[in-house]
Structure 1
Amino acid sequence: MIRALALAATSAIALSACSYLSQPDYREESTPPQTVASVDLEKYAGLWHEIARYPNSFEKGCTDTTAEYGLRDDGRISVTNSCTKEKTGKRDVAEGVAKPVEGSNNSKLKVKFAPEWVPFAWGDYWILHLEPDYSAALVGSPNGKYLWILARDEAPDQTVIDRILKKAEALGYETGPLEFAG
């Protein structure tokens, strides 16, 4: 039984790594993008709606996607990503954890959806733009493989989306590949 669990975990990690390596990158800049100056994690916590994303394997066939962040007693952040699968209509939920990168003023996080004992499964989650009232955000990976526009409302004002798209372009991210919800 333990051998089967270890094999399953190893297989999941290998598949995850292959998915990451095959994910195209939509940012050709050689320098890392600038993140926001700081993030108040208490204000950032709560429910966010996915407005747009780069195509990726783990969200394929997902609609009505949300991310919910919560502060934990150990200084980390709980992450609950949910979506409705188009084919089945069922809600799919992934539980993870995030931790702030030291010296980043909470603008750079490491996120993991693998078991705690897996040491190398952390991914970059950088907050690249944040509306002053914490109503919308641009988050992604510095290598350009992942990018999301998140908002508290399911349908934020188009001027907010346009402002975030301009910020993404200014940081060197392609906006053409973004898939918009709805």
Structure 2
Amino acid sequence: MSVRAIVPLLLASLMLGCGSNSRPIPPVAEVDVPRFMGDWYVIAHIPSRPEREAFDAVESYALRPDGRIQTTFRYRKGSFEAPVKTMHPVGTVKSGTNGAEWGMQFIWPIKAEYVIVYLDADYQQTIVGRSKRDYVWLMSRTPKMSDADYNKATARIAALGYDLSKLRRVPQSGGVKQP
């Protein structure tokens, strides 16, 4: 076999090997997407690289006229006194998922998996995860969560197959104001 024939096969096998071997993470049965919109304070997370030192992290969602979800993630890096940083990914609800699974696009054309795996009946607390179990976000409509609710949420996160030793509680001072 020639080198030209081997290289594409090698690249294809490497790409397949990089895929997730984990089982799909179970979404909630249904999300009323318009009701889900608004501010969510990040209470705890297994953070992505930009979030590792986040303080006052708030994820805000707004429906766009085209049906996609404009997201604004606001946080301070390293302290409550640090300037507010923002990221603006765009979410797309996957069809056939009853609003529970989104593709979150930070950089075109890549859409990251974003699965709502827990949502209380009052839309006051949620957990968002990924099948790879690499990132998770515990969020609330308020910047504080009772210890009882936090413990229930972390038990849910553990039951989903996450390593709780990687979970970071996000310091919250009462919220980041819109810059």
Q: Shared fold (TM-score greater than 0.5)? A: yes
Which residue does 1:110 correspond to in 2? 103
TM score, norm. by length of structure 2: 0.79
Letter of the 1:131 counterpart: D
Aligned partners of 2:169, 2:40: CA distance in 1, in Å?
15
Structure 2 matches for 1:144-159, cutoff 5 A? 144-159=133-148
Q: Cα deviations across residues 44-72 of structure 1 (Å, max 9, x unaligned)?
A: 00000010011331113321000000011
**2:162 is the alignment partner of 1:173:** yes
Q: Cα deviations across residues 60-118 of structure 1 (Å, max 9, x unaligned)?
A: 3321000000011111111000101226711001111100111111100000122xxx2
Which residue does 2:124 correspond to in 1? 135
**2:62 is the alignment partner of 1:74:** no
SS state of the match for residue 169, structure 1?
A: helix
Runs of 4+ aligned residues of structure 1 deviating over 3 Å after TM superposition are: none
Structure 2 matches for 1:54-93, cutoff 5 A? 54-86=46-78, 89-93=82-86
Letter of the 1:51 counterpart: I
Please tell me whether the aligned partners of residues 45 and 138 of structure 2 are also in contact (alpha carbons under 8 angstroms): yes
Aligned partners of 2:136, 2:53: CA distance in 1, in Å?
17
SS state of the match for residue 113, structure 1?
A: strand
Which residue among 24, 28, 36 is the counterpart of 2:28?
A: 36
TM score, norm. by length of structure 1: 0.78
Please tell me whether the aligned partners of residues 29 and 172 of structure 1 are also in contact (alpha carbons under 8 angstroms): no
Aligned partners of 1:129, 1:63: CA distance in 2, in Å?
23
SS state of the match for residue 66, structure 2?
A: coil
Letter of the 1:160 counterpart: D
SS state of the match for residue 106, structure 1?
A: coil
Please tell me whether the aligned partners of residues 38 and 105 of structure 1 are also in contact (alpha carbons under 8 angstroms): yes
Letter of the 2:124 counterpart: S
| Count of residues in correspondence between the two structures | 152
How far does residue 29 in structure 1 lie from its aligned partner after superposition? 7.7
Q: Cα deviations across residues 1-46 of structure 1 (Å, max 9, x unaligned)?
A: xxxxxxxxxxxxxxxxxxxx8xxxxxx9832121100100111000
Q: Identity rate of aligned residues, in percent? A: 28
Please tell me whether the aligned partners of residues 54 and 170 of structure 2 are also in contact (alpha carbons under 8 angstroms): no
Which residue does 2:4 correspond to in 1? none
Which residue does 1:99 correspond to in 2? 92
Aligned partners of 2:42, 2:55: CA distance in 1, in Å?
9
Q: Cα RMSD (Å) of the superposition?
A: 1.8
Q: Cα deviations across residues 129-173 of structure 1 (Å, max 9, x unaligned)?
A: 011101011101111111010000101222222222121122212
